[in-house]
Amino acid sequence: MTEILELRLDELHAIGALPDGGTYRPLYSDAWAEAVKRVERWFKDAGLKTTRDAVGTLWGRAEGTDKGKSIVTGSHIDTVRRGGRLDGALGIVAGLTAVETLLATKGKPRRTLEVVAICEEEGSRFATNFWGSRAITGRIDKVDADIAQAMRERGLDPAKISAAARDDIDTFVELHIEQGALLEASGAALAVVSAIVGTAHLEVTVTGRPDHAGTTPMELRRDALAGAAVMIQAVESVARSLGKPAVATVGRVRAEPDQINVIPGRAVFTIDLRHSDLSARKALEQRIRSLCATVASERGLQFAIRMLQEWPPVPMHPEVRAVLARAAQDTGVAAEEMVSGAGHDAQILAARCRVGMLFVPSIGGRSHCPEETTSPEHLALGTHVLQRALELLAY
Ligand code: HGY
Ligand code: MN
Ligand code: MN
Task: Note the pLDDT tens digit of each residue in 180-225.
Answer: 999 999 999 999 999 999 999 999 999 999 999 999 999 999 999 9
pLDDT confidence of residue 127: 84
Specify the ligand 1 atom closest to the Cα of 122: 6
Q: Which residues line ligand 1 (CB under 6 A)?
A: 121-122, 342-343
Same domain for 113 and 50:
yes
111 and 23 co-located in one domain? yes
179 & 213 share domain: no
Ligand found nearest the CA of 83: 2
**Which ligand is nearest to the Cα of residue 175, counting in written order?**
3
Q: Among 310, 336, 369, which residue terminates a domain?
A: 310
What pLDDT score does 67 carry? 87
Identify the domain boundary among 310, 333, 349: 310
Pick from 49, 74, 28, 54: which is nearest to 164 by CA?
Answer: 54
pLDDT over threshold 90, residue 128:
no
| pLDDT one-digit tens code per residue, 35-92 | 999 999 999 999 999 999 999 999 999 999 998 999 999 999 999 999 999 999 999 9
pLDDT at residue 284 is higher than 90: yes
> Would you call 238 helix, strand, or coil by DSSP?
helix
* Torsional sign, CA 219, 220, 225, 228: positive
Verify that 96 and 236 share a domain, yes or no. no
Q: Which long-range contacts (CB under 8 A, 24 or more apart) does 6-9 make?
A: 6/376, 6/379, 8/42, 8/93, 8/96, 8/97, 9/85, 9/86, 9/89, 9/90, 9/93, 9/379
The last residue of a domain, from among 271, 294, 310: 310
The parent domain of residue 268 ranges over 198-310
Contact yes or no for 63/69 (Cβ under 8 A): no
Q: Taking a C-beta distance cutoff of 8 angstroms, is the pair 78, 120 a contact?
A: yes
Angle (CA) 372-12-98 rounded to 5° is 90
Task: State yes or no: pLDDT of 226 exceeds 90.
Answer: yes
Same domain, residue pair 368 and 296: no
Nearest CA to ligand 1 atom 4: 343
**Counted domains in the chain:** 2
Q: Can you tell me the distance from the alpha carbon of 63 to that of 27, in angstroms, rounded to the nearest whole number?
A: 29
Per-residue pLDDT reduced to its tens digit, 22-31: 999 999 999 9
Ligand 1 atom with least separation from CA of 272:
1
User: How far apart are the CA of 10 and the centre of ligand 3, in A?
Assistant: 17
pLDDT at 53 (0 to 100): 98
- Are 46 and 177 within one domain? yes
Give, as one character, the DSSP assignment of residue 17.
B
CATH number, domain containing residue 124: 3.40.630.10
- Which among 257, 272, 252 is positioned nearest to 207, based on CA atoms? 257
**71 and 149 assigned to the same domain:** yes
Residues 184 and 48 both lie in one domain: yes
Q: What pTM value is reported for the model?
A: 0.91
Same structural domain for residues 128 and 213?
A: no
